[in-house]
Amino acid sequence: MASPPTSLVFKVRRYEPELISPAKPVPRELKLLSDIDDQEGLRFHIPVIQFYRYNPSMKGKDPAKIVKEALAKALVFYYPLAGRLREGPARKLMVDCNGEGILFVEGDADVSIEEFGEALHPPFPCLEELIFDVPGSSAVLNSPLILVQVTRLRCGGFILALRLNHTMADAQGLVQFMSAVGEMARGATVPSLQPVWGRHVLFARDPPHVTRTHREYDEVPDSKGTIIPLDDMAHRSFFFGSAEISAIRRFVPPHLRNCSTFEILTACLWRLRTIALRPDPEEEMRIICIINSRGKSNSFVPKGYYGNAFAFPVAVATAKELKENPLGFAVEKVREVKAGVDGEYMKSVADLMVVKGRPHFTVVRSYLVSDVTRAGFGELDIGWGMPAYGGPAKGGVGAIPGVASFYIPLKNTKGEEGILVPLCLPAPAMERFVKQLDSMLKDQNTPSSSLIISAL
């Protein structure tokens, strides 16, 4: 696949930022977040980006004006998102539903969608121009909970980028809100799916009672300096289609051949990333899998709930075990933690948050993966049809950069459906990772050089 021109440089001519409040009066009240929402590991802003091509049927219509009006209408139903976070005793977060509004930025760029490359995917050039960090807007407390920027392009298309305070919603919750915005933009007066606040379903019990093992919150000293250094980082995106997944599956023993794409890809990345980083053989390496509890056994998350409803279960193995054992070893580890998340697990996490003071998940020697292939970002229609790209704006986001990767649905220039994985590693480790991946795929005539579809 041809690489996009990562040398693309442009500026966005921005209007003054403004606050968008709900279009009608909304209740003024304090609403508590759940004990899953307000953990330390979610106290950051996460960027999402949507590219929309020119649509002749919308000629003469201003996307910024339409999005702005649709946001105001949707906020009537999602009015807590127009409020501000406050922190109470024991670090408990709550929303002051004051209707103050979300932040909106409008701009123009003398660039076309085509200049971003044949297939749109992160990392995107000049991202800081497309999601402008309005001074004073990125604090977790007492700041707008969402920032939206609409950038009109020379080709007649536009980019809708946003930044969400992650304590308020997960990927599915954000898509639910943006779907309501899309419906309003297309003429609806009420969302087809009514939002449910309902954060009490993930409150800690009284008294709190931790019933599961949660190694994702282990206190691990970084005695050997193995948190990834942030200097000289390489950012690359890899495409895994059916041929690549089949090639990796060859390394899995017969009794695990029915494992899911998520399980095999996660195990593979965990193992190769570990080998590439060259840690001490006896050091424990961690793979954190974001697992959504919606639809799981004894889940009590109601339909329409837009809060965070996922856990960070972790698999742990030494670097030596991952390197010397076949891939099936890592697959079994991933399957085990994935299967353990149910309603009781979520309650146990909520209880642990209260008992331990809302800790951050362990980042030492950790790698986190989040599968957003089914979140629905690519289906958000705000009048211009489906986006040419919709989803996370970059990998490695969070309080600790470089730890996380997303699994993003992508159709490559050949029309093949697959998964895009943005990866962030120190440059020397990235080179070793590519060689390891190439070695796995060499017999299938699928060199990793063809998988690397962008690099910065």
| Residue 220 domain-assigned (yes or no) | no
Burial of 229 (0-12, 13-18, 19+ CB in 10 A): exposed
Beta strands in 230-335 (DSSP E): 233-241, 284-289, 291-292, 310-311, 314-318
| Residue 127 domain-assigned (yes or no) | yes
Tokens 């995106």 belong to: 237
* Whether residue 160 is found in the same domain as residue 259: no
Q: How far is 183 from 31, CA to CA, in rounded Å?
A: 26
Round the average pLDDT of the chain to a whole number and report it. 92
Residue 360 per-residue DSSP state: P
User: Looking at residue 448, what is its pLDDT?
Assistant: 47
pLDDT at 101 over 90: yes
Dihedral sign from CA coordinates of 8, 155, 148, 46: negative
* Whether residue 352 is found in the same domain as residue 396: yes
Question: Are the C-beta atoms of 103 and 83 separated by less than 8 Å?
Answer: no
SS3 356: helix
| Least confident residue range of 138-142, 225-229, 343-347 | 225-229
Residue tagged active-site, from 108, 218, 381, 438? 381
User: Looking at residue 214, what is its pLDDT?
Assistant: 97
Question: Are the C-beta atoms of 287 and 271 separated by less than 8 Å?
Answer: no
Q: Is 222 a catalytic residue?
A: no
* Whether residue 46 is found in the same domain as residue 130: yes
Beta strands in 181-277 (DSSP E): 233-241
pLDDT tens per residue across span 254-303:
999 899 999 999 999 999 999 999 999 999 999 999 999 997 777 789 99
In this prediction, residues 339-358 reach a mean pLDDT of 96
What is the torsion angle, in degrees rounded to the nearest 10, for the CA atoms of residue 35, residue 345, residue 333 and residue 423? -30
In this prediction, residues 16-42 reach a mean pLDDT of 97
| Residue 153 domain-assigned (yes or no) | yes
* Whether residue 156 is found in the same domain as residue 274: no
Query: At residue 77, what are phi and psi to the nearest 5 degrees?
Result: -90, -30
pLDDT at 340 over 80: yes
Residue 381 structure tokens: 């229609």
Q: How far is 367 from 404, CA to CA, in rounded Å?
A: 6
Q: What percent of the chain has pLDDT over 70?
A: 92
* Whether residue 296 is found in the same domain as residue 193: no
SS3 180: helix
Residue tagged active-site, from 166, 214, 235, 371? 166
* Whether residue 174 is found in the same domain as residue 262: no
| Residue 192 domain-assigned (yes or no) | yes
User: Looking at residue 449, what is its pLDDT?
Assistant: 44
| Residue 3 domain-assigned (yes or no) | no
* Whether residue 306 is found in the same domain as residue 184: no
* Whether residue 115 is found in the same domain as residue 233: no
User: Looking at residue 394, what is its pLDDT?
Assistant: 79
Q: What percent of the chain has pLDDT over 90?
A: 83
* Whether residue 234 is found in the same domain as residue 87: no
Neighbours of 139 (CB within 10 A): 12
Q: How far is 412 from 392, CA to CA, in rounded Å?
A: 17
Query: How many CA atoms, within 13 angstroms, populate the side-chain half-sphere of residue 137?
Result: 22
Q: How far is 22 from 19, CA to CA, in rounded Å?
A: 10
* Whether residue 183 is found in the same domain as residue 288: no
User: Looking at residue 122, what is its pLDDT?
Assistant: 86
Kind and range of the H or E run holding 31: strand 29-32
Q: How far is 225 from 268, CA to CA, in rounded Å?
A: 24
pLDDT at 4 over 50: no
* Whether residue 307 is found in the same domain as residue 366: yes
Question: What's the length of the chain?
Answer: 456
Nearest partner of 71 among 185, 166, 151, judged by Cα: 185
| Residue 6 domain-assigned (yes or no) | no
pLDDT tens per residue across span 153-180:
999 999 999 999 999 999 999 999 999 9
CATH of the domain at 64: 3.30.559.10
Range of the domain at 84: 12-202
Question: How sure is the predictor about 414, in pLDDT bands with cuts at 50, 70 and 90?
Answer: confident
Between CA 87 and CA 95, with CA 90 as vertex, the angle to 5 degrees is 25
* Whether residue 189 is found in the same domain as residue 311: no
| Residue 211 domain-assigned (yes or no) | no
Q: Is 166 a catalytic residue?
A: yes
Number of structural domains in the chain:
2
Residue 246 structure tokens: 């089949």
Beta strands in 99-209 (DSSP E): 102-109, 146-153, 158-165
Question: Are the C-beta atoms of 275 and 432 separated by less than 8 Å?
Answer: yes
- Bridge partners of 409, per DSSP, are 419
User: Looking at residue 456, what is its pLDDT?
Assistant: 46
| Residue 63 domain-assigned (yes or no) | yes
Neighbours of 324 (CB within 10 A): 10
